[in-house]
């Protein structure tokens, strides 16, 4: 139920910045060429090599630290169905995203498409929450601190772009950004449910953990959409800044 897939955009952004052939390109950035028959392997390696830097953040590239990764806010307003819930998550801290493993990168320059598959061993998500509604027929309400652990996570990120012309240069404009994720295991805890009623709160937390797959499945599409739209905005900041020839030299 937690927005822990924001980190996906980091890998995407890093790939882009890895390819940005500016004159002062730092040594930790390895360029991959479009004509390289092993470009996918090259991209994979250069992003993997950046993992330790990613954890600290890369100031000159305007990449914040992702240990923890900070997400200001996510709102989910699910009207009907098994999960009919209004919930807001604020000051979200995600621990563990820099431990990602890239399983696969596929780039299709003809179709201006890219797909990444990543795997994460473990994520801990801590945030403030407010919620009110029903989950699997059970009324739920509360506000306070929420902590969750997720492990064995697979994520697929699909990106489509169009080419646009500006100042005699070609740029990418990302038009579609999709994020899909599969969580292997989850442990969720909401503090202060039902106005701090301990018994009800404990029972609800047990219930949520017993049913987390179904609960997460209902909320996932909303979450994937909201996260993808953030990624899309972010990736376009890079693509609109650097022409294609700089980001992806021949």
Provide, rounded to whole angstroms, the least separation between the CB of residue 240 and ligand NAG.
6
Nearer to ligand NAG, 175 or 245 (CB): 175
Q: Which is nearer to ligand NAG, 132 or 176 (CB)?
A: 176
Q: Which residues lie closer than 8 Å to 68 by C-beta, 6 or more apart?
A: 93, 94, 95, 126
φ/ψ (deg, to 5) at 240:
-80, -15
Interatomic CA distance for residues 87 and 41, integer angstroms: 41
CA 3, CA 5: separation in Å to the nearest integer?
6
Place of tokens 């830097």: 53
The CA distance from 45 to 31, in Å, is 11
Q: How far is the CB of 195 from ligand NAG (least distance, A)?
A: 21
Nearer to ligand NAG, 30 or 160 (CB): 160
Q: Closest Cα to residue 222, out of 14, 5, 9, 57?
A: 5
Per the CB < 8 A criterion, the answer to whether 14 and 44 are in contact is no
- 124 or 224: CB nearest ligand NAG: 124
Backbone phi, then psi, for 100, in 5-degree steps? -60, 155
Q: Which is nearer to ligand NAG, 187 or 226 (CB)?
A: 187
H helix count then E strand count, the chain: 6, 6
Q: How far apart are the first and last CA of the chain?
A: 42
Residues that bind ligand NAG (CB under 6 A): 124, 147-149, 164, 173, 175, 187, 189
Shortest Cβ 166–ligand NAG spacing (Å):
8
Q: Please say which residue, 138 or 164, places its beta carbon nearer to ligand NAG.
A: 164
Q: Which whole-number Å values give the CA distances from 68 to 7, 38, 61, in the listed order?
A: 10, 32, 18
Name the residue nearer to ligand NAG (CB basis): 45 or 205.
205
């Amino acid at each position: 139920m937690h927005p822990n897939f924001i980190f996906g955009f980091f890998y995407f952004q890093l790939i882009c910045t890895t390819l940005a052939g500016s004159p002062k390109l730092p040594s930790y950035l390895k360029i991959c060429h479009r004509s390289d028959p092993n470009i996918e392997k090259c991209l994979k390696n250069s992003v993997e090599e950046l993992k330790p830097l990613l954890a600290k953040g890369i100031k000159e590239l305007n990449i914040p630290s992702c240990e923890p990764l900070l997400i200001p806010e996510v709102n989910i307003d699910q009207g009907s169905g098994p999960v009919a819930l209004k919930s807001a998550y604020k000051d979200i801290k995600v621990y563990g995203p820099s431990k990602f493993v890239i399983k696969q990168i596929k780039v299709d320059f003809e179709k201006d498409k890219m797909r990444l598959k990543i795997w994460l061993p473990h994520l801990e998500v801590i945030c403030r929450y407010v919620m009110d509604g029903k989950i699997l027929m059970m009324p739920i309400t509360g506000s306070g601190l929420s902590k969750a652990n997720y492990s064995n996570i697979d994520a697929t990120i699909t990106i489509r772009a169009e080419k646009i012309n500006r100042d005699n240069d070609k740029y990418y404009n990302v038009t579609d950004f999709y994020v899909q994720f599969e969580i292997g295991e989850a442990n969720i805890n909401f503090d202060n449910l039902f106005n701090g009623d301990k018994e009800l709160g404990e029972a609800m937390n047990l219930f949520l953990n017993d049913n987390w797959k179904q609960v997460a499945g209902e909320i996932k599409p909303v979450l994937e959409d909201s996260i993808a739209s953030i990624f899309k905005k972010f990736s376009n900041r890079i693509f609109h800044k650097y022409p294609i020839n700089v980001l992806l030299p021949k």
